[in-house]
Amino acid sequence: MASTFRIPKARLSGVYGAVVKAVARRMIGDELPDNLFVYFHNKPVLRAVVSFEGKVSRWRALDPHLKSYAQLASAGVIGCSWCLDFGYFKAHDDGLDLAKVREVPRWRDSRVFTALERDVLAYAEAMSLTPPTVTDEMVAGLVDQLGAAAVVELTQMIALENMRSRFNSAAGLQSQGYSEVCELPLSQPADDVPSAS
């Protein structure tokens, strides 16, 4: 399914457009992400998002596998096919076990996740519901297992994925086929996510 671009697709023009395209192609490949064409309408917003994402990529308190699982779980709850697609692509590039990554939307029924990974997935899901359903016990258990610094990073990563997923979904962006590069079929958002009501 192609993106509907509720916000019209901008032309990546001028010197800044050429730089943006060159950087994106170096980082991702020839297929430019659809959200780039939306953000280009407001260059200060684009610059802020790119700057923040660059800083986020240098955070190291949290295990990168846990970070990926949490982001994919959050995108699944929100229903952002673009984010799931790109998340699988990033997981492939980061060397994650793709068979395990494929199970994230069905983590409750899957036997491939450790107890800690399941706690992280539950937390990501609870944070991504509206309203959030995070409990004191969830956070305390994660702090005990990971330490406070890693839980701060985990919490911010899930919040960031909520921002990404909600922006991309609201903008009408759909899967672009990034996951096909890693031969991982795009999973659909989980149907068994508990309701917040």
The helix/strand/coil state of 117 is helix
Residues 145-173 have a mean pLDDT of 98
Residues 24-36 have a mean pLDDT of 93
Sketch out the chain's domains with CATH numbers.
14-56 (no CATH), 64-181 (1.20.1290.10)
d(CA 113, CA 58): 26
End-to-end CA distance of the chain: 30
Judge whether residue 190 has pLDDT over 90.
no
- Residue-wise pLDDT for 84-136, tens only, equals 999 999 998 888 998 899 999 999 999 999 999 999 999 999 999 999 999 99
Q: Does the predicted TM-score (pTM) go above 0.85?
A: yes
